[in-house]
Amino acid sequence: MPSSGGRVNRGPAAASENRQAILDAARRLFTARGYHVPLSAVAKEAGVGQGVLYRHFPTRLDLAFAVFEENFAQLEAIAADPDAGAFGRLWDRMVRLTVESAAFVEMAVDARRSLPDYGGAERLHALIERTLPRARAAGVVGPAITVEDVLLAHRMIYGVIATAVDPADVEPAVRRAQQLLRTPREAT
């Protein structure tokens, strides 16, 4: 009997494609609608049933960790560069990821509350700690700037994003906040 033209259930053969479709959909929806977007919307956007989503990612945090692990991979690659400019590139990418996907910060906050062993904050701290001394030595940032200062500036930027009434106000405020870490020489 010929097929009716609907989707054919390929079972386990489609598992990796389904997983990637879920990750891609989650990234888009987390970016557009925030971390607390309904998981049913993620499944629908991915073109899979909710059962498939939960088979791959039993919890929202499991899904968020998988999506945002790519963010950490990007940051780790930047921090691995021994160049003194690595801090500036790391900082700019952290900010851009936060602007593009404030859900990343929401996920980290939720993970700290739900999973006491979550190490995301420590990973971010280590990346900054790896690059900041070279930036200070090269005069890219002021000699008194600490890792805690950078993390505070990052939280400030997230606050700007989360509280902006007019989305047009976000970019100028973020640029101003980014400049707080730059030396006068670099800011010009």
Give pLDDT tens digits for 3-20: 444 454 456 667 889 999
pTM as predicted: 0.73
Burial of 59 (0-12, 13-18, 19+ CB in 10 A): exposed
Phi, psi of 141 (to 5 degrees): -125, 160
Q: Is the model's pLDDT at 90 over the cut of 90?
A: yes
80 near 129, Cβ under 8 Å?
Answer: no
The pLDDT value recorded for residue 13 is 63
Q: Which CATH architecture is the domain 11-58 placed in?
A: Orthogonal Bundle (1.10)
Cα 55 to Cα 53: distance, rounded to the nearest angstrom: 5
The pLDDT value recorded for residue 103 is 64
Question: What average pLDDT does this structure show over 88-107?
Answer: 81
Answer with the residue of higher pLDDT: 104 or 47. 47
| Share of residues in the chain with pLDDT > 90 (%) | 38
Place of tokens 């963010």: 71
Average pLDDT over the chain, rounded to whole?
Answer: 83
- Radius of gyration of the chain measured on its C-alpha atoms: 20
